[in-house]
């Protein structure tokens, strides 16, 4: 148990160290989120922007700039979390592989990465909610934080998947950006009438958008939206785990079968120097494949 705890805490500590040393992402968190919210407040007209919330059927009519602030906050937290996890996965892929080959259990590494992602997303969601709250009071700030958190986590897990399967850094950046643009633009009542289409229900942050709109402008329950977003999170996190597992697989499964000393002969290098240690006292590894 102590060993499991040590493996988990060590990996979590270094996962967090890695994130905090991503200076550009930190700068985005500190500057981009409040800047976006402030600019939306100042530049977007405050006239009513009526739309129907699919989750409750309610017609809401918030000021346009407030609506943009919420969609903008969602867009900012998802992009930052996706970008952070993509970079961490893409640049750390070979290192993770080396760690697992050295004996680091993959479950502990994955749990540690998930814990670090959870902490980062929670901090970013609280920060974004506070930034919105400085501009105007939201109806359910805790629910808004939860919606932002789940959306960020979903994109963070998506970043892990993209960081594992794409070959070039620029491909991942574009992929996250394109997914985010499609996701947010199609759901935004200000920019697209498509937000009334059934298709939007299948977008990655549909649940978070529904929950955050309820939280910001209505007193209605956001449970359904949060539940849908949780499903997206479970789906992307599972995909992230599967690709991580595949990428760090070892074709030399550990075995404890006592070895038979290899006979001398062609292709055999005999130990001409030193004393040979007893073989088979430690874990051995074997890779066998037959057609």
Partner 1 sequence: MDVRDVHHSYRRHAVLRGVDLRLRPGTLAGIVGENGAGKSTLLKILSGELAPDRGSVRHYGRFGYCPQSVVLDDSFTVRQHVDFFRTAFGLADLRRAREVMEVLAFTEYLDMRVGLLSGGSRQKLNLTLALMHDPDVLLLDEPYQGFDWETYLRFWELATELRDTGRSVLVVSHLAYDLDRLDQLWRLEGGRLHRQERRTGAAA
- Report CA torsion sign: 194, 200, 205, 207: positive
Tokens at 240, concatenated: 């992230």
Q: Give the distance from CA 43 to its chain's centroid.
A: 31
Alpha helices of 136-222 — where are they, by DSSP H?
Answer: 141-165, 169-187, 206-217
Q: Least distance from C-beta 15 to partner 1, angstroms?
A: 11
Q: Position of tokens 């890695």?
A: 18
State the minimum distance, in angstroms, from the CB of residue 192 to partner 1.
Answer: 39
Which of 137, 266 has the CB closer to partner 1? 266
The Cα angle at residue 239 between residues 234 and 242, in degrees rounded to 5: 125
Q: With the CA atoms of 36, 40, 43 and 46 taken in that order, what torsion angle do they form, in degrees rounded to the nearest 10?
A: -170
Any idea what DSSP says for residue 263? P
Element (H, E) at 270: none
Cβ proximity to partner 1: between 89 and 154 the closer is 89
State which residue, 6 or 191, has the beta carbon closest to partner 1: 6
Selection from 151, 144, 153 nearest residue 126 by Cα:
144
Judged by CB, which is closer to partner 1: 7, or 147? 7
Reported as type and span, the H/E element at residue 201 is none
Residues found near partner 1 in the complex (CB under 8 A): 3, 6-7, 10-11, 14, 17-18, 21-22, 91-92, 94-95, 97-99, 101-104, 250-252, 259, 261-262, 266-277, 279-291
Taking the complex as a whole, the smallest distance from the CB of residue 26 to partner 1 amounts, in Å, to: 12
Q: How far is the CB of 54 from partner 1 (least distance, A)?
A: 42
17 vs 181, beta carbon nearer partner 1: 17
Distance, in Å, from the CA atom of 216 to the CA atom of 225, rounded to the nearest integer, reads 13
Nearer to partner 1, 52 or 98 (CB): 98
Q: How far apart are CA 98 and CA 248, in angstroms?
A: 8
């Amino acid at each position: 148990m102590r060993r499991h705890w040590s493996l988990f805490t060590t990996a979590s500590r270094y996962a967090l160290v890695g994130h905090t040393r991503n200076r550009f992402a930190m700068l985005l968190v500190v500057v981009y989120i409040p800047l976006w919210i402030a600019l939306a407040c100042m530049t977007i007209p405050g006239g009513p922007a009526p739309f129907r919330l699919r989750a409750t059927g309610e017609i809401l009519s918030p000021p346009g700039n407030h609506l943009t602030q919420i969609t903008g906050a969602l867009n900012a937290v998802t992009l930052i979390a996706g970008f952070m996890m993509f970079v961490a996965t893409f640049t750390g892929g070979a290192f993770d592989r080396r760690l697992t080959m050295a004996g680091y259990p993959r479950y502990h590494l994955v749990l540690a990465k998930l814990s670090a992602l959870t902490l980062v997303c929670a901090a970013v969601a609280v920060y974004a909610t506070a930034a919105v709250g400085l501009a105007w009071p939201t109806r359910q700030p805790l629910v808004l934080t939860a919606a932002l958190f789940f959306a960020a986590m979903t994109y963070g897990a998506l970043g892990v998947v993209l960081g594992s399967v794409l070959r070039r850094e620029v491909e991942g950046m574009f992929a996250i950006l394109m997914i985010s643009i499609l996701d947010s633009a199609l759901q935004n009542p200000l920019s697209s009438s498509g937000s009334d289409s059934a298709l939007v229900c299948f977008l990655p942050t549909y649940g978070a958008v529904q929950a955050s709109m309820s939280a910001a402008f209505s007193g209605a329950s956001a449970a359904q939206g949060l539940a849908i977003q949780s499903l997206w999170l479970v789906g992307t996190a599972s995909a992230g785990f599967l690709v991580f597992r595949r990428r760090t697989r070892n074709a030399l499964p550990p075995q404890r079968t006592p070895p038979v000393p290899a006979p001398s002969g062609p292709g055999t290098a005999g130990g001409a120097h030193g004393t040979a240690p007893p073989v088979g006292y430690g874990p051995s590894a074997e890779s066998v494949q037959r057609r």
